[in-house]
């Protein structure tokens, strides 16, 4: 990326002054090295988002930002309905509520290492993975609507999870305001056999070891110690979320002129928050969030069953579950007053600081865990939200490494079998139904996750707590 169009505010913050149709500045958080490696399209998309009606404060990009549909992936923007604010399907993305949950196991590296390959086989047997994967859960029309309204709470009531899990999930496992009636029959049809499945792309179930602790006090509050084994699950709302995005982007594009919306990019299709279409999308999108929360809860149940095969004394307790493709109503202080805003996070993680009332009692003093996924063979991180982050990014932080090249480019550079063999030499056992999918997700196809995390910390968006390294990865 050419940085000459940007004003450098600090080592980590870069600013784009309003120009043309921009209503607010653009702000990018990244080191100079990360910024130079970003594609030029990121700046264009940050500026385009800054031109949308009712946007507040700034259009933001996180350190892992890269080109996306409409909004950059790693984009954050908040809108005020009182000022004609809009809701954008492209600002949420197609994999609604894609996110990460991490589970304690009560095990250590010494427990797992001798049975690592057997554990990988068990997880692969219990967790359906891959493009178009289907699971054992089949939903009829009544059950589908109950799931879309109930989220993880519905899954627990069906016996696929524990009640104590709900305290450690965003929205306590159920997004209020969901409207299953606004979800198309095609979207529901796509999800009917996909509950409890990972899907494909960058989704995974990964067994990880805590190898480094940076903040002893916060790590203790999160229950993390060096040598501990965690399991992290990364997935979202599967075909249902994708179909919701597809359906509403079409409707928003068609109806934009009726709402007086002149868009710099048709991929930014949106609707006024207070319009019938805006409310319809919000209801469907919230149902998509519940689908993702339910899906991760069912996957957690399957993960517990897999661990029980080899480790009957393992106790898989939920550390936290947080999404990174959402639009949520939140209260934030802007220009000295508290306002109810619709915060879009696309490839960005909510990162509430200590004392926030939305956090579980057990975590409130420490702050919200921010779970940042790695790339099969690289580290993942547990961060914690900061009070400063509210002012700097509406309490948002990075969500992962972020792609450095397209999937097509990756398959031209790597062979899946070679990636598996190299990771095995590094002590990482990989299981996947697709060697092509592994090539697409090769670690080298992503940015340096440690650099992304360091930039997030330097910017004050979140603070490092612990580093995890993978031992087993079931890849979608």
Q: Average pLDDT of the chain?
A: 96
- Mean pLDDT: which of 7-16, 126-135, 192-201 is highest? 7-16
Confidence at residue 167, expressed as pLDDT on a 0 to 100 scale: 97
pLDDT classification of 105: cutoffs 50, 70, 90: very high
Q: For residues 197 and 73, is the Cβ–Cβ distance under 8 A?
A: no
Confidence at residue 262, expressed as pLDDT on a 0 to 100 scale: 86
Exposure string (b/e) for 400-437, b if CB count within 10 Å is 16 or more? bbbbbbebeebbeebebeebbeebeeeebbbbbbbeeb
Confidence at residue 132, expressed as pLDDT on a 0 to 100 scale: 79
Q: What is the pTM of this model?
A: 0.96
Confidence at residue 13, expressed as pLDDT on a 0 to 100 scale: 98
Q: Is 399 considered catalytic here?
A: yes
Q: For residues 321 and 168, is the Cβ–Cβ distance under 8 A?
A: yes
pLDDT classification of 51: cutoffs 50, 70, 90: very high
Spatial distance between the Cα atoms of 233 and 112, rounded to a whole number of angstroms: 18
User: What is the DSSP code (8-state) at residue 403?
Assistant: B
Confidence at residue 1, expressed as pLDDT on a 0 to 100 scale: 86
pLDDT, one tens digit per residue, over 113-149 is 999 999 999 999 999 988 878 888 899 999 999 999 9
Q: Could you list the residue range(s) of the whole structural domain that residue 458 is in? A: 3-475
Comparison of pLDDT for 388 and 130, the residue scoring more: 388
- Reported for 2-11, long-range contacts at CB under 8 A and 24+ positions apart, including other chains, are 2/40, 3/32, 3/35, 3/36, 5/43, 6/35, 6/43, 11/458
pLDDT, one tens digit per residue, over 272-297 is 999 999 999 999 999 999 999 999 99
Spatial distance between the Cα atoms of 383 and 395, rounded to a whole number of angstroms: 13
Confidence at residue 53, expressed as pLDDT on a 0 to 100 scale: 97
Spatial distance between the Cα atoms of 424 and 471, rounded to a whole number of angstroms: 9
Return all residues near 32 (Cβ < 8 A) that are at least 6 apart.
Answer: 3, 11
Render 346-396 in DSSP notation, one character per residue: ES-EE---TT-TTS-HHHHTT--EEEEB--SSS-EEEEEE-SHHHHHHSSE
| 385 CB neighbour count, 10 Å cutoff | 28
| Mean pLDDT along residues 11-27 | 97
CA–CA distances in Å: residue 212 to residues 155, 379, 380: 34, 10, 11
Please identify which residue in the block is written with the tokens 């509050």. 221
Spatial distance between the Cα atoms of 437 and 331, rounded to a whole number of angstroms: 40
Confidence at residue 476, expressed as pLDDT on a 0 to 100 scale: 83
pLDDT of residue 165 exceeding 90, the answer is yes
Q: How many domains does the chain have?
A: 1
- State the CATH number of the domain containing residue 422: 3.90.1860.10
pLDDT, one tens digit per residue, over 214-259 is 999 999 999 999 999 999 999 999 999 999 999 999 999 999 999 9
pLDDT, one tens digit per residue, over 313-339 is 999 999 999 999 999 999 999 989 999
Confidence at residue 377, expressed as pLDDT on a 0 to 100 scale: 87
Residue tagged active-site, from 163, 324, 399, 408: 399
């Amino acid at each position: 990326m050419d940085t000459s169009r940007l004003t450098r505010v600090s080592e980590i913050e870069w600013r784009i002054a309003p120009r043309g149709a921009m209503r607010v500045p653009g702000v990018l958080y990244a080191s100079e090295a990360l910024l130079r490696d970003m594609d030029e399209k990121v700046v264009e998309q940050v500026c385009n988002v800054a031109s949308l009606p009712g946007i507040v404060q700034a259009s933001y990009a996180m350190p892992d930002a890269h080109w996306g549909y409409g909004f950059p992936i790693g984009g954050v923007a908040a809108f005020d309905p009182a000022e004609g604010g809009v809701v954008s399907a492209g600002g949420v993305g197609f994999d609604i509520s894609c996110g990460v949950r991490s589970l304690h196991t009560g095990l250590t590296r010494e427990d797992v290492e001798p049975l690592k390959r057997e554990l990988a086989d068990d997880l692969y047997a219990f967790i359906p993975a891959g493009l178009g994967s289907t699971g054992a859960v089949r939903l009829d029309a009544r059950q589908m609507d109950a799931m879309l309204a109930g989220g993880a709470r519905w899954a627990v009531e069906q016996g696929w999870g524990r009640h104590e899990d709900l305290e450690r999930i965003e929205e306590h496992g159920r997004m209020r305001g969901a409207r299953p009636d606004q979800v198309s029959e095609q979207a529901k049809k796509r999800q009917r056999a996909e509950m409890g499945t990972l899907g494909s792309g960058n989704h995974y179930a990964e067994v990880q070891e805590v190898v480094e602790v940076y903040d002893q006090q916060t790590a203790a509050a999160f229950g993390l110690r060096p040598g501990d084994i965690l399991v992290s699950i990364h997935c979202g709302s599967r075909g249902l979320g994708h179909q919701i995005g597809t359906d509403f982007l079409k409707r928003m594009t068609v109806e934009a002129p009726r709402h007086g919306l002149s868009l710099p990019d048709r991929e930014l299709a949106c609707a006024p928050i207070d319009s019938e279409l805006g409310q319809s999308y919000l209801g469907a999108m919230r149902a998509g969030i519940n689908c993702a929360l339910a899906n991760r809860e069912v996957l957690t149940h399957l993960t517990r069953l897999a661990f029980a095969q080899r480790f009957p004394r393992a106790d898989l307790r939920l550390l936290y579950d947080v999404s990174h493709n959402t639009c949520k109503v939140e209260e934030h202080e802007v220009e000295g007053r508290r306002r109810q805003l619709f915060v879009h996070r696309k490839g960005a993680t909510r990162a509430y600081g200590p004392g926030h009332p939305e956090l579980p009692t057990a975590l409130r003093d420490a702050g919200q865990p921010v779970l940042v996924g790695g790339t099969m063979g690289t580290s993942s991180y547990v961060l914690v939200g900061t009070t400063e982050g509210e002012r700097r990014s509406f309490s948002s932080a990075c969500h992962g490494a972020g792609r450095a090249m397209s999937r097509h480019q990756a398959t031209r550079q790597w062979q899946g079998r070679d990636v598996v063999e190299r990771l095995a030499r590094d002590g990482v056992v990989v299981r996947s139904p697709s060697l092509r999918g592994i090539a697409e997700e090769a670690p080298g196809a992503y940015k340096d996750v440690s650099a992304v995390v360091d930039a997030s910390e330097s910017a004050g968006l979140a603070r490092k707590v612990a580093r995890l390294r993978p031992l087993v990865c079931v890849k979608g």
